[in-house]
C-alpha cells in the first residue's frame, strides 16, 4: 500500500469532530503525523486515541483559531517539535443565525473571527514555515459562500471571503512551492448540522435539494482534502472544489 502522506507533518484545525476529525484520521492512515487543534480537550483526545489505536501518529493541542497569539504559537510549536510543517487544513468554523435586520454587529463579526481571521492567521503562519520547503494549505469554505443563503448573511460573507483570499494566497505561494486550495461542502452530516437533520422530514426536505439524493459524510470530504494535500495534486493550486453531491450545479432539482 502506498502511503500518500508518508513522513509529512499535518496540522488540522477543528479536528475534534466532523470533517476535521475525519480528515485527521485519513491523513494518519496515509502516513502523516497529525496535530489536531480545537477549543475542547475531550473530543481531541478521543480522535488522537482512535488514530494511535490504529497504529497512526497524532497529538492534540487546545487552541482557539480566533485567538491569533494562541493559534500561531500552536503552529510554530508544531513545526519546531517535528522539524517541519507540510500541510495545514483550516477547517474550524463558527456561525450565527438570523435575519440581517436582527443581526448585531457583534454577531456579524463573530462569523469572521474564526472563518476569515483564523484562516488568514493560519495561512500566513504556514506560508512562512513552508517557505523554501513547499507545502499544501487547504481552506474549508461552504456552499453558503457561493450561493445566497438567507438567515446566514454573516457566515455566507465570511465563507465567500475564504474563497477569494485563498486564490490570492495561491498566487503568492506558487513561486515557493506552496499550494493553496479550497474545498466547498454543502450539507455534511456532522454535529454542526444535527439540528437541520434532526428528524426524517427535515432530512428528506434537505435531500430533495441535492441531485445525489443524500447528504454528505465527513469521510467523503476528508478524501477530497487528502487528495489536495497529497503530491497527486502537485499541479493544482488556487482551485475551489465543490464536494456537495451536485448541489451547487443546479438551480432546482427534479420534483
Q: Which residue spans within 66-153 are E strands per DSSP?
A: 87-90, 135-140
Residue with cell 499544501: 136
Q: Pairing relation of β-strands 240-243 and 178-185?
A: parallel
DSSP designation for 98: B
Q: Is 91:36 a contact under the CB 8 Å cutoff?
A: no
Entry field: residues in the chain = 255
- If phi > 0 it is left, if psi is from -120 to 50 it is alpha, else beta; for residue 103 that is beta
Q: Which cell goes with 129?
A: 514555515
Q: Which cell goes with 132?
A: 523554501
Tell me, yes or no, if 155 is annotated catalytic: yes
d(CA 12, CA 24): 7
d(CA 40, CA 128): 27
Catalytic residue among 27, 112, 121, 155: 155
d(CA 220, CA 225): 9
Q: Is 218:18 a contact under the CB 8 Å cutoff?
A: yes
What residues are labeled active site?
155
Amino acid at each position: 500500500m502506498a502511503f500518500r502522506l508518508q513522513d509529512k507533518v499535518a496540522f488540522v484545525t477543528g479536528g475534534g469532530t466532523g470533517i476535521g476529525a475525519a480528515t485527521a484520521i485519513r491523513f494518519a492512515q496515509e502516513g502523516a503525523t497529525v496535530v489536531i487543534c480545537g477549543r475542547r480537550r475531550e473530543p481531541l483526545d478521543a480522535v488522537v486515541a482512535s488514530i494511535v489505536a490504529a497504529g497512526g501518529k497524532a497529538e492534540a493541542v487546545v487552541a482557539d483559531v480566533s485567538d491569533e497569539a494562541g493559534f500561531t504559537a500552536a503552529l510554530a510549536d508544531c513545526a519546531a517539535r517535528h522539524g517541519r510543517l507540510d500541510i495545514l487544513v483550516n477547517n474550524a468554523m463558527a456561525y450565527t443565525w438570523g435575519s440581517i435586520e436582527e443581526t448585531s454587529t457583534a454577531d456579524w463579526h463573530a462569523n469572521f473571527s474564526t472563518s476569515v481571521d483564523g484562516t488568514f492567521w493560519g495561512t500566513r503562519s504556514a506560508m512562512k514555515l513552508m517557505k523554501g520547503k513547499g507545502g499544501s494549505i487547504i481552506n474549508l469554505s461552504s456552499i453558503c459562500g457561493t450561493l445566497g443563503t438567507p438567515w446566514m448573511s454573516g457566515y455566507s460573507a465570511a465563507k465567500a471571503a475564504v474563497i477569494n483570499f485563498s486564490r490570492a494566497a495561491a498566487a503568492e505561494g506558487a513561486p515557493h512551492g506552496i499550494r493553496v486550495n479550497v474545498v466547498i461542502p454543502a450539507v455534511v452530516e456532522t454535529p454542526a448540522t444535527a439540528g437541520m437533520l434532526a428528524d426524517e422530514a427535515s432530512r428528506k426536505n434537505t435531500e430533495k435539494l441535492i441531485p445525489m439524493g443524500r447528504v454528505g459524510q465527513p469521510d467523503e470530504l476528508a478524501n477530497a482534502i487528502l487528495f489536495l494535500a497529497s503530491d497527486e495534486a502537485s499541479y493544482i493550486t488556487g482551485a475551489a472544489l465543490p464536494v456537495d453531491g451536485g448541489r451547487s450545479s443546479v438551480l432546482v432539482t427534479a420534483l
